[in-house]
Structure formats: structure tokens, C-alpha cells
Amino acid sequence: LKGAALLLPSNPSKRVVREAELAGSALARQNRWRDLEELTAPFAAANPPAVLLARLRALALSRLERAAEARELLVRVATAELARRAPASGTLYDLAELLAKAGDFDRAMQLVRKADARRHRSRSELRLRQLALDQLLAKSFRSFRSQHFDIRYPITTGEKYARQIATVLERERQREAQWVPLGE
């Protein structure tokens, strides 16, 4: 994978793109996110980007805690698809998931509905209900962050309970560190 961008022609053939899609899919199945991010970089930079490779790259970026870059890429892909009047529902679903992960449930549900309108059969009525429930839960809970944990608690219980749980979790993490090496 190293140096793949140097070997990529400015206008790759369909065969090269297809081979990269197969390799990228295999890397995603193996959870090799850094390798996938590196493989897809030159293809995602193209204008317009290769859709499947851009979606795989967005997945890798999301898993590498670079959600803002992933959202930006998927918005660029969706915009390019809209310009061609052929937006893929998969791109809209992926973007909706990133928005939901960021807590933007209204726009996520809007994108799921738009993606469903482009399909012959709706597959996401259940997902829409899940997003609505996630939105409701997000509004009824608060979050308390310790050094290593994000504890969500019902508003009615108050922050004191969350602080106590955080203390226990941090101590347990420290105790386990003697047997399990921890990545910081």
C-alpha cells in the first residue's frame, strides 16, 4: 500500500478502481482502517470521487476518530451525485449515520427519508424509529466525562451518581492496568 498514490494515474481505469474497491472492501472486513484510509486517499481526492471508495474512506475516517473529515467527504460525494442527478441512497445512509453519531438526529432522519425515496422498497422505517428514540434519549440524559470515560446518566438522578461511577471505573481501569497494557 505504501506509495500507492505515486503509482495511481491521474485518470484511473475502471479496472484499477474496481481492484481498489475489492482491496478496500477486504481491508474494511479486517478492520484495517489505517491501511484503508491510505489506499482510498488518491481515489477520494479525484473529482468526482469514486463513490464506493469514498464511502469506504469515510468509514475508515470515522473509525479513526476523524468524523468531521468523513462528513465532509460524504457531503462532497452526495453533492457530486446530485449534480449528476443520480445520488446513491447508500451515500445518504452513510452520511445519516455520521450525523446521528454526532447527535444531529433531525438531519439524519431527513437524509434517511430522502435515501428511502430513491429506493423501490423502504428499508429504514425501523431505523427512523431508532433515530427518534436515540434523539429522545439524548434529550433526557446528561453526560459526565472523567479522564477515560464518558458516563451518561438520566437527568433525574443528578451528576453525583455519575461522579461516583466515574471514580469506580477509573480505579478499576488503574487496577486492571497491571495485567492488561493500556493504550493512552
pLDDT by residue (tens digit) across 132-164? Answer: 988 888 888 888 999 999 998 888 888 999 999
| Residue from 52, 47, 53, 51 nearest 10 by CA | 47
For the chain, percent of residues with pLDDT exceeding 70: 86
Cα dihedral across residues 9, 37, 105, 131: positive or negative: positive
Do residues 124 and 94 touch, judged by C-beta distance below 8 A? Answer: no
Indicate the range of 37-46, 88-97, 111-120, 157-166 predicted with least confidence. 111-120
Whether the model pTM is above 0.85: no
Q: Report the SS3 class of residue 172.
A: helix
pLDDT by residue (tens digit) across 22-66? Answer: 999 999 999 999 999 998 888 777 766 778 888 899 899 989 999
Res. 184 pLDDT band, cuts 50 70 90: low
* Residue 142: its H or E element: strand 141-145
What does the CA dihedral 77, 82, 84, 86 come to, rounded to 10 degrees? 90
